[in-house]
């Protein structure tokens, strides 16, 4: 009988890690190579150029053009999309059977939008908490009632 592999994605908008549980009493272990992070930057650190200028349609005035998206939010969205692509690839490779997502509320919404329908079908539970800075041994109390660690 094949064991059921449950992955736990712990994420926020700038860092993520994947843990694995292979059954009750087996605990959690970090999945090798699935620990990701980007440096959290403020918008002013990403965009160093002055904003573009526009001529007024009436008169001689000029004004700055604001970007349509916040560069920091855009970076985090790209990060979350890369996580979603990784999950889809690993699902296709049969690396996990079930998925638990524990993410900061905003990141959880982004993850929900980014993951494929096939990955959505593997979701066992979602937890809208930022657990990214907790050490692995302390995670089991947050996952109690979701999976038997």
pLDDT tens per residue, range 80-104: 999 999 999 999 999 999 999 999 9
What structural domains does the chain harbor?
6-39+69-143 (3.30.420.60)
Q: Supply the pTM of this predicted model.
A: 0.79
Contact call for residues 54 and 62 (beta carbons, < 8 A): yes
What pLDDT digit, counting tens, does each position of 99-133 carry? 999 999 989 999 999 999 999 999 999 999 999 99
Q: Which of 51, 48, 76 is nearest to 64 (CA)?
A: 51
pLDDT greater than 50 at residue 46 = no
What is the C-alpha separation between 45 and 54, in angstroms, rounded? Answer: 23
């Amino acid at each position: 009988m094949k064991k059921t592999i449950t992955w736990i994605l712990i994420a926020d908008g700038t860092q993520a890690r994947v843990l694995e549980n292979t059954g009750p009493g087996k605990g959690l272990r970090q999945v090798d190579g699935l620990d990701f992070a980007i440096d959290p930057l403020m918008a002013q650190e990403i965009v160093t150029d002055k904003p573009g200028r526009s001529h007024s349609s009436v008169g001689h005035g000029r004004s700055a053009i604001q970007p349509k998206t916040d560069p920091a939010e855009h970076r985090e969205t790209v990060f979350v999309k890369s996580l979603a692509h990784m999950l889809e690839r690993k699902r296709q490779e049969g690396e996990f059977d079930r998925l638990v997502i524990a993410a900061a509320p905003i990141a959880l919404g982004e993850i929900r939008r980014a993951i494929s329908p096939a990955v959505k079908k593997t979701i066992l539970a979602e937890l809208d908490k930022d657990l990214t800075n907790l050490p692995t041994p302390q995670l089991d109390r947050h996952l109690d009632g979701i999976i038997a660690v």
